[in-house]
Amino acid sequence: MIYLDRYYFDLDLFVVHPFVANPANEFVTVKAFGYRTDPQFFQAFLAVAPKNKIIMRSMYIMLEILSGNRAKRGVGYLGTQSLQDAWAKVAREDHSIASTGKNNKVYLLSELNRDSDFDQSVPKQQNYGKPLFTDLTCNYFVAGGEEKSVYFYSRIVGTKWCGRMNHLHSSYQ
């Protein structure tokens, strides 16, 4: 994990084209793959202005869930769902946050799959693993909506399900 100024990103991201937030952006994160069916944000990239009200609301939602005063929805992760739920609630209260885009207060990037969602010209990550190594998630990446820039692969070779020995075949070493 690295935290620089107002950016947070996990070390298991592989940068293709550095993302630089617009000064107007107060909250930038990524809609996780499958967002349409299970709205949640991708957990490994976040850029926010100090004292951001979406982050504060997310903390309250997590506290409500952990104390049993609110039900957790779906099967996703607590933090990714609470962050998305917080953004949705704050956006209903503040129309300047409801508008999203490169030049707005909120900019939501998207996690995509190279093989099903995007131009096939995006190169596949090279998986140098031995036979029986998995590459199920190696070709997920994050892109900007309007300009279609690929900023980073969201899972890199060597992480779970991307270049590690598939646990089902571990006896074949």
Give residue 90's pLDDT: 94
Contacts for 21 with CB less than 8 Å, ≥ 6 apart: 6, 7, 28, 47, 107
Predicted TM-score of the model (pTM)? 0.80
pLDDT over 60 (residue 170): no
Residues 86-139 have pLDDT tens digits of 999 999 998 888 888 889 999 999 888 877 766 666 777 765 555 555 666 777
**Domain residue spans of the chain:** 2-112+138-154
CA distance 22 to 171: 50
| Mean pLDDT for the stretch of residues 138-161 | 77
Residues 22-80 have pLDDT tens digits of 899 999 999 988 888 888 898 788 888 888 999 999 999 999 999 999 888 776 678 88
**Secondary structure of residue 43 in the 3-state scheme:** strand
Residues 69-88 have pLDDT tens digits of 988 877 667 888 899 999 99
CA distance 110 to 31: 5
Contacts for 134 with CB less than 8 Å, ≥ 6 apart: 161, 162, 163, 164, 165, 166
